[in-house]
Structure 1
Amino acid sequence: MFVDGSRKEHVNMVFIGHVDAGKSTIGGHLMYLTGMVDKRTLDKYEREAKDKGRESWFALMIHGVTSKTNSICCGISPWSSYFRYLSWALDTNDEEREKGKTVECGRAFFETDKKHFTILDAPGHKSFVPNMISGATQADLAVLVISARKGEFETGFDRGGQTREHAMLVKTTGVKYLIVLVNKMDDPTVNWDEERYKEIQNKLTPYLRKCGFNPKTDIIYIPVSGLTGAFLKERPNSQFGSWYTGPCFIEYIDTMLPSISRDYEGPVRVIIADKYSDMGTIIIGKMESGVLVKGQTLTVMPNRTSIQVIQLWSDDVEVDKVVSGDNVKLKLKGIEDNDILPGFVLCSPDALCHVGRVFDAEVRFFLHFMEQLS
């Protein structure tokens, strides 16, 4: 089936890393820098934070860097006082905003000149690893956010932290490319120190190699400040980070990231990540192959139920067609949501996926999980 050549390439990126590394703040800042979040929206977030009594928490979060904000942000972002609320662009439910932590896998999107990106913001706390895996299974690209703040990198990378586990999990789910954003470089304990950046790089790279990533072809490191936006889209007009000569984050993902291979000619495969009921059965998932149009009949595997797709959305925009690589929401006719589980697959009726009761698996245990079980 023909796929419109004018479509921008769709890339699904999951933000991973230890709790409080700055994943949601960076994701929110990317939405601001690409025009998906404006000053009016940030005003709204500020009012909501005050109503919930969270303004003091945000002030604590940025304590120690505000004195440097104007010089770091010079030429990048004119509304630095609003940046403390950027994480709310992805942390959208009450529990996440109350705790200041991502719980579910947040979802948002933005566009660059050449590509369309879906952000999957995975929770960093070890209690929500299943939610993180849900995001990783839908991703083409992983962005590993590391806190450069003194002590925080060590906490996230050493035993009990989520940095190691997240990196291993995204590789296991099939992610090929990894961007490591060394965040909080503007923190007073770091102050854009190149030696701290290299220290993190030298400690992290051997482990990522063990996970299966090729450091020469699959990994790039970029120093950033999620709060000020430095090196996300533009370089700061200051001496900070002058030693870094590589690309900014948006420049890299728009023009230098290798194209993701898509199977538009294959049978329809939609991996179901979630489901709910809203005037009918709704599923959320990713198109792994094929082209799907409104009204098309599919088969739900493994229970072999025939269904019809009566509505389609791609990144919350209703459309008539979705293609391989799209993150989709579908309304189905012919099945109840109670009869669907995450992991089920929507298939072309004449090309069903294989099912089985027995399989071989390679199992890896993480030490802190074993400690919890003992």
Structure 2
Amino acid sequence: MSALNDTFNSDLTPYLEQQQNKQLLRFITCGSVDDGKSTLIGRLLYESKALFEDQLGQLEVDSKKLGTQGDELDFALLVDGLSAEREQGITIDVAYRFFATDKRKFIVADTPGHEQYTRNMVTGASTADLAVILIDARQGILTQTRRHSYLVSLLGIRKVVVAINKLDLVDYSQAVFECIEADYRAFATQIGLHDIQCIPLSALRGDNMLEASPNTPWYQGPTLLQHLENVPLEQARQVEAAFRLPVQWVNRPNLDFRGYCGNVAAGSVSVGDRIRVLPSGQQSEVSAIFGSAGQQQTALCGQAVTLTLKDEIDISRGDLIALADAPAAVADQFEATLVWMDEEPMLPGRPYLMKIGCRTVSMSCANLKHRVDVNSLEHLAAKTLELNGIGVCNLHLDRPIAFDAYADNRDTGGFIIIDRLSNRTVGAGMLRFALRRAQNVHWQAIDVNREAHAMLKGQSPRILWFTGLSGAGKSTIANLVERKLYTLGRHTYLLDGDNVRHGLNRDLGFTEADRVENIRRVSEVAKLMLDAGLITLVSFISPFRAEREMARRLAGDGNFLEIFVDAPLALAEQRDPKGLYQKARRGELKNFTGIDSPYEPPVAPDIHIDTRNESAETAAERIVEALLAL
């Protein structure tokens, strides 16, 4: 048996080595709804003999079950794996399939055509080298064709196949093909796509898929598979680029070994090379490189390796290792292009998490410069980004990161945006460049700091953040608390929502975006007052948890008390000291919290005041006691 296994393995060795040495092309199919993306991939799998007998048998059964005419196979069923996709005849999720020919290996992503699933298309395109954009010959270029083409360009895919499909339904018309080709090339030039191959197809009938079709004698170009097998790969550009290794893990199995693990994102490095660790800027020399087969002299782009260094320096997950004489840039403010992928809009000023490479940092969009109309390519003024919106904005991070422009390196210039509270991925982005002021504006060290101010005043500075519906009693209780602290000789200041809107925030309205900016500004002011050694009372509705959490982080651990002044909507509306609820009910006051704008109550406030059972005086006493006990 052992001898038989040895013979079997030796027979397989040349084949396995041949497969291992083949180049890999990752590509996506995209386009509008019902352009035939899944059918095209299914046909490729079928014709390239990438199906097992049981898959082929199941395809025949499923095709008959869904009413396919005669012995025809519904190739889309090979890709549409979700039951909802099969029932509706559409693609919802991204489906990845592997197949190979004698020349090359392929991983193809079938991406959805519906606008509501554009975010899934972005996911599939993020690692692709080439895009196959399908166009229904009967329909021509549609909105989704333009949207997907624009995203392909944004995501750095430079090689495009325009598959003008279903040509059999227009009698294989050369005029139709050439008209669509001319229209597409004109649009593609505007968005920076130049490496384009247009191919007339019928994915269902197999025309120009693997072999030249007798139905299109006027077309002399390659078939789809011929083009995929021979198109030059983009990976060569990354191999020649400057060395980049994002650190994924610090390997410390014992006291005698410390290795830094990751996938080489660009370039190469050899034993003896001087390296620089970013963002810290520390330098050392590569002493050894370990790969899948053991020690090696050089690490190349795409390889998973572990580096050891000559010096013991501080490196952690998320750092970037580069050659000392070709480092990446470091900054904390950027201009970036965003693709928004969530039903909740992107709000400038709201804190999010950015994950770039292996590093996660806090970020916010300082201002949205414009959004892009994918049909006209116009830059339109906007305050927010809605689902599937594309825009350019300035980003502020809470710490510097190492990066390359996305156009130079997808791995070190691309990022995703994560909602802090739900942990949902809500957007994707591409860094364009660092803002110059990020390098020129530095924090000025001050001799008289927060501790010195606090010592002079003889108190511990704190932020007391009162939140609740309008009419809940926030200002009344905050005013009582300040009076009690004043009689105790404490140094205080009260920031009230209405008062601040007469000056600092007079330019803001009551939309969600404006409310976020309102709280961001007040949070920054409260932090400055905290640094001045004051006990600062902030009385704002502050309806969103994300902004209250941002204020807490700015203040720092132990310096922030969230006080929920809890009054049910009916009670707050009954009090209505300013008549605002009546106006809101009559439609005279838009975006009023509790009526047509949401209020997100604190999940775990530091102090909970139930105004149905507790008087303002008692609540104030309890708050002062809690403050003095800290």
Instruction: Classify the TM-score, shorter chain.
Output: 0.5 to 0.7
Matched residue of 1:359: which SS? strand
Aligned partners of 2:210 and 2:91: how far apart in 1? 24
* Amino acid of the structure 2 residue aligned with 1:261: Q
Aligned partners of 1:323 and 1:371: how far apart in 2? 39
Deviations 1:136-192 (A, max 9, x none): 1111101111111x3x22xxx34xx300000000110000100111110111xx010
* Amino acid of the structure 1 residue aligned with 2:122: I
TM-superposed deviation, 1:203 = 1.4
Matched residue of 1:10: which SS? strand
- Counterpart position of 1:305: none
Listed as ranges, the matches of 1:114-133 within 5 Å are 114-133=103-122
Is the deviation greater in 29-38 or in 173-182?
A: 29-38
Matched residue of 1:162: which SS? helix
* Amino acid of the structure 2 residue aligned with 1:182: I
Listed as ranges, the matches of 1:317-356 within 5 Å are 350=321
2:208 pairs, out of 216, 222, 231, with 231
1:359 pairs, out of 305, 316, 334, with 334
- Counterpart position of 1:169: 151
Aligned partners of 2:244 and 2:264: how far apart in 1? 10
Aligned partners of 2:21 and 2:48: how far apart in 1? 18
TM-superposed deviation, 1:46 = 3.6
1:219 pairs, out of 196, 218, 236, with 196
Deviations 1:1-54 (A, max 9, x none): xxx99611111101111111001100111111111125642330242456xx6x
TM-score normalized by the length of structure 1 = 0.63
Aligned partners of 1:114 and 1:88: how far apart in 2? 26
* Amino acid of the structure 2 residue aligned with 1:183: N
Aligned partners of 1:87 and 1:244: how far apart in 2? 26
Deviations 1:282-330 (A, max 9, x none): xxxx984489xxxxxxxxx99xxxxxxxxxxxxxxxx99998569x9xx
* Amino acid of the structure 1 residue aligned with 2:73: F
- CA change 1:230–1:347 in 2 (3 A) is farther
Q: Is the 8 A contact 1:225 1:231 kept in 2?
A: yes
Aligned partners of 1:270 and 1:167: how far apart in 2? 33
- CA change 1:371–1:170 in 2 (3 A) is closer
1:22 pairs, out of 33, 36, 39, with 36
Task: Tell me if 1:248 matches 2:193.
Answer: no
* Amino acid of the structure 1 residue aligned with 2:149: A
Task: Tell me if 1:261 matches 2:235.
Answer: yes
* Amino acid of the structure 2 residue aligned with 1:246: G
Deviations 1:186-205 (A, max 9, x none): 11xx0101011111112111
- CA change 1:100–1:349 in 2 (3 A) is same
Deviations 1:215-263 (A, max 9, x none): xxx0011101100111110123x4x1111111111112212x1232244
Q: Is the 8 A contact 1:269 1:290 kept in 2?
A: no
TM-superposed deviation, 1:96 = 1.4
TM-score normalized by the length of structure 2 = 0.39
Listed as ranges, the matches of 1:27-176 within 5 Å are 27-38=41-52, 40-48=54-62, 55-56=66-67, 58-59=68-69, 81-84=71-74, 86-148=75-137, 150=138, 152-153=139-140, 157-158=141-142, 161-176=143-158
Matched residue of 1:83: which SS? coil
Matched residue of 2:73: which SS? helix
- Counterpart position of 1:204: 184
Q: Is the 8 A contact 2:246 2:321 kept in 1?
A: no
Aligned partners of 1:231 and 1:13: how far apart in 2? 18
* Amino acid of the structure 1 residue aligned with 2:180: I
- Counterpart position of 1:309: none
Listed as ranges, the matches of 1:176-195 within 5 Å are 176-187=158-169, 190-195=170-175
- Counterpart position of 1:316: none
TM-superposed deviation, 1:364 = 4.2
Q: Is the 8 A contact 1:15 1:143 kept in 2?
A: yes
TM-superposed deviation, 1:264 = 5.7
* Amino acid of the structure 2 residue aligned with 1:235: A
Matched residue of 1:178: which SS? strand
* Amino acid of the structure 2 residue aligned with 1:361: A
Q: Higher relative contact order at CA 8 Å, sep ≥6: structure 1 or structure 2? A: 1
* Amino acid of the structure 2 residue aligned with 1:191: D
Is the deviation greater in 89-98 or in 38-47?
A: 38-47
- Identical aligned residues as a percent: 29
Task: Tell me if 1:9 matches 2:16.
Answer: no
Aligned partners of 1:104 and 1:112: how far apart in 2? 26
- CA change 1:354–1:184 in 2 (3 A) is same
- CA change 1:175–1:224 in 2 (3 A) is same
* Amino acid of the structure 2 residue aligned with 1:227: L
- Counterpart position of 2:414: none
- Counterpart position of 1:280: none
Q: Is the 8 A contact 1:18 1:124 kept in 2?
A: yes
TM-superposed deviation, 1:357 = 5.0
TM-superposed deviation, 1:108 = 0.4
Which protein has the larger Cα radius of gyration, Structure 1 or Structure 2? 2
Q: How many residues align?
A: 273
Aligned partners of 1:25 and 1:100: how far apart in 2? 11
Q: Is the 8 A contact 2:247 2:319 kept in 1?
A: no
Matched residue of 2:333: which SS? coil
Q: Is the 8 A contact 2:125 2:155 kept in 1?
A: yes
Q: Is the 8 A contact 2:38 2:80 kept in 1?
A: yes
- Counterpart position of 2:7: none
* Amino acid of the structure 2 residue aligned with 1:132: M
Q: Is the 8 A contact 1:268 1:290 kept in 2?
A: no
* Amino acid of the structure 2 residue aligned with 1:25: T
Q: Is the 8 A contact 1:83 1:228 kept in 2?
A: no
* Amino acid of the structure 2 residue aligned with 1:244: Y
Matched residue of 1:213: which SS? coil
Aligned partners of 1:354 and 1:95: how far apart in 2? 46
Q: Is the 8 A contact 2:244 2:265 kept in 1?
A: no
- CA change 1:162–1:270 in 2 (3 A) is farther
- 5+ residue gaps, structure 2, are 1-16, 249-262, 269-277, 280-291, 305-316, 338-369, 376-384, 390-630
* Amino acid of the structure 1 residue aligned with 2:113: G
- 5+ residue gaps, structure 1, are 60-65, 67-80, 272-285, 292-300, 303-318, 329-345
Matched residue of 1:252: which SS? helix
* Amino acid of the structure 2 residue aligned with 1:241: T
